[in-house]
Chain A
């Protein structure tokens, strides 16, 4: 069933200090229905190889053909576009709305 808002609990340290391990976030899955993701957006993405796994990343840059380069805030502890390449818009699960 599709829920436009999804709750998540953060695991890992690649997005610190903005998002610490254990933080809870609300993700809006409809945020990009009528707009395009833009740099510095914090997004939940589907892992390119394990689609049921959701990753927390920040968009570093928009590329042609609806491709996006995503990274972690702490690059040394992040598995991101430097490893699996740019991602297409359909892999963007939603935009992080706020943490609580």
Chain B
């Protein structure tokens, strides 16, 4: 009786949805994007540092050019440092489980260091911090692949940063 009544009510006021599945396809995680973003941060710092005026006393047009370039590089640096944080947070929060932490007890601290270094890379034009950021993200990627049961390897990239990227065999 109640069930019939509820079915009639549903026709007037449809039920809300309740999800008995994953919000996104679980198991699709990859630290690749975080590494690319960290490389981009380094590249932007290098580009900012390489900017030189064409003369000792640059005119207004030249000053505008430099300011414009710095603004663009800084915007990309900001965006990609934040992307590092986002990608790492997702893998850390959604993928890693307590058994991973038992095997890699330094994982929480590593994520904490990545967050701080990414913020520092945003706040400053700091090549050292940016390189440390990439290094920590690579450590994170190595742990990730080990938990997946595959052997991580470091490959030299063809990026202008000339650094490495962690993949797996």
A interface vs B, CB < 8 Å? 6-16, 19, 21, 24-27, 44, 47, 50, 53-57, 72, 77-79, 82-84, 98, 100
Number of interchain pairs (Cβ within 8 Å) = 85
A54 contacts B94, C-beta separation under 8 Å: no
> Most chain-A CB neighbours within 10 Å: which of B7, B17, B93, B97?
B17
Q: Smallest distance from the beta carbon of A30 to chain B beta carbons, Å?
A: 17
A54 contacts B16, C-beta separation under 8 Å: yes
Chain B contacts for A98, CB-based, 8 A:
3
Q: Smallest distance from the beta carbon of B98 to chain A beta carbons, Å?
A: 8
Chain A contacts for B93, CB-based, 8 A:
84
Tally of contact residues, B, Cβ under 8 A: 23
Q: Is B14 an interface residue (CB 8 A)?
A: yes
B10 contacts A24, C-beta separation under 8 Å: yes
Give chain B interface residues in 99-136, CB to chain A under 8 Å: none
Q: Smallest distance from the beta carbon of A99 to chain B beta carbons, Å?
A: 9
Chain A contacts for B24, CB-based, 8 A:
79
Give chain B interface residues in 53-111, CB to chain A under 8 Å: 93-95, 97
A53 contacts B23, C-beta separation under 8 Å: yes
CA distance A10 to B94 in the complex (A): 23
If the complex has contacts A7-B15, A9-B15, are A15 and B20 also in contact, measured as CB distance less than 8 A?
yes
Q: Smallest distance from the beta carbon of A95 to chain B beta carbons, Å?
A: 13
Give chain B interface residues in 127-156, CB to chain A under 8 Å: none
Write the B17-55 contact mask toward A (1 if CB under 8 angstroms, else 0).
Answer: 111111110100000000000000000000000000000
A77 contacts B22, C-beta separation under 8 Å: yes
Q: Smallest distance from the beta carbon of B121 to chain A beta carbons, Å?
A: 26
